[in-house]
Amino acid sequence: MVLVLALGDLHVPHRAADLPAKFKSMLVPGKIQHIICTGNLCVKEVHDYLKSLCPDLHITRGEYDEDARYPETKTLTIGQFKLGLCHGHQVVPWGDLDSLAMLQRQLDVDILVTGHTHQFKAYKHEGGVVINPGSATGAYSSVTYDVNPSFVLMDIDGLRVVVYVYELIDGEVKVDKIDFKKTATMLHS
C-alpha cells in the first residue's frame, strides 16, 4: 500500500498565491510515501513545502520553473509499476493523447504522468495509462482560464492501482476514484 501524490502546475507566485486552503488542510506529512510533480512550481518555497510533506520528491522541469536543474523527464519504479514523469510542454500538440502515448513508449513506463494542460485526465491505451493531475492551484493555463484545482493520489498495491482524484469544485472538495490493474498486455510491453 504505497501512497503516491501527483500534482503540478502550481505557478506560485505568478498565477496563484498558494494551494487552496482545503487542499492544504488535507495534505499532512506522514501519510504519503512519494510525491511526483510535473513541474511549474515555480519557486523554491513550493519545493520546500512539498519536501516537508514527504522527503521523496520527484520533479521535472516546466517551462516557467526557476530552478533549471530539474530534469526534462524522469522514470521511477514503485512497487510493480514503472512511472514516468514529464511536464508535457515538450510534447506537441499539447495534451494530445497519441503523442503522449508515443512518449510513454519511449520512456517504457506503465503510468505516465504529465501536466501543462491544467485539466485532469486519465486515459488508457494499449501501452499503459496516462494521468494528468491538472493544476493544484487552479492557475490559468495558456489555453483556458476556467481551471478547477485538482490533484491525484495513487494507491499502489501490488498489481492494482487506485487513483483518487481530488477536485475543488465550487469550493467543495470532490473525490473520485479510478481503479485499474496491470494487465497481461501491459506486463509484456
Partner 1 sequence: MQRDTDILAPLGATNPSQQPSLSCCVPTCRSRSAAALLPEPSRHEAGAAFHLLPPRPSRSFPMRKKAARVVPEWLNSPLWSAPPQAPASPDPYGADLSPPPPPKPQPPPTPTPTVPPPSYEQAVGSSRRARGEAGWEGDGEDEDEDSGGAALRAHLLSDFKLALSKKVINMGELRRLACLGVPEGGAGVRPLVWKLLLGYLPIERAFWPHELQKKWSQYSAYIDEFLLNPSEKIRRFEETKLLRKKELNSDKIGLLPRSEVTNEEHPLSVGKSSLWNQYFQESEILEQIDRDVKRTHPEMSFFSTKTNQESLRRILIIFSKLNPSIRYVQGMNEVLAPLFYVFMNDPDPSNSASVEADTFFCFIELLSGFKNNYCKHLDDSQVGIRSTLSKLSQLLKRHDEELWRHMEITTKVYPQYYAFRWITLLLTMEFSFNVFIHIWDAILGDPEGPPETLLRICCAMLIIVRRRLLAGDFTANIQLLQHYPPTNIDHLLHIANRLRGSVAI
Residue 41 DSSP code: -
Q: Is 169 in the site for partner 1 (CB under 8 A)?
A: no
Map residue 122 onto helix, strand or coil: strand
Q: Cβ–Cβ contacts within 10 Å for residue 131, how many? A: 26
Give the one residue of 55, 63, 77, 123 binding partner 1; rule: CB under 8 A. Answer: 123
Q: Is 105 in the site for partner 1 (CB under 8 A)?
A: no
Give the one residue of 3, 43, 57, 76 binding partner 1; rule: CB under 8 A. Answer: 3
Q: Is 76 in the site for partner 1 (CB under 8 A)?
A: no
Give the one residue of 129, 136, 152, 168 binding partner 1; rule: CB under 8 A. Answer: 129
Q: Is 121 in the site for partner 1 (CB under 8 A)?
A: yes
Return the C-alpha cell found at 71.
530534469
Q: How far is the CB of 24 from partner 1 (least distance, A)?
A: 11
Of 139, 120, 143, 128, nearest to 84 by C-alpha is: 128
On whether the CB atoms of residues 53 and 27 are closer than 8 A, the answer is: yes
Element (H, E) at 103: helix 97-107
Q: Identify which range of 75-83, 108-116, 137-145, 155-163 contacts partner 1 by CB under 8 A.
A: 155-163
Q: Identify which range of 20-28, 74-82, 85-93, 140-148 contacts partner 1 by CB under 8 A.
A: 20-28
How are beta strands 111-113 and 81-86 bridged, if at all?
parallel
Q: Is 53 in the site for partner 1 (CB under 8 A)?
A: no
Q: Is 122 in the site for partner 1 (CB under 8 A)?
A: yes
What is the rounded distance in angstroms from the CA atom of residue 54 to the CA atom of residue 3? Answer: 11
Dihedral (CA of 27, 3, 139, 85) sign = positive
Query: Count residues contacting partner 1 (CB under 8 A)?
Result: 33
Which residues make up the interface to partner 1 (CB under 8 A)? 1, 3, 25-28, 30-31, 121-126, 129, 153, 155, 157, 160, 162-166, 175-181, 183, 185
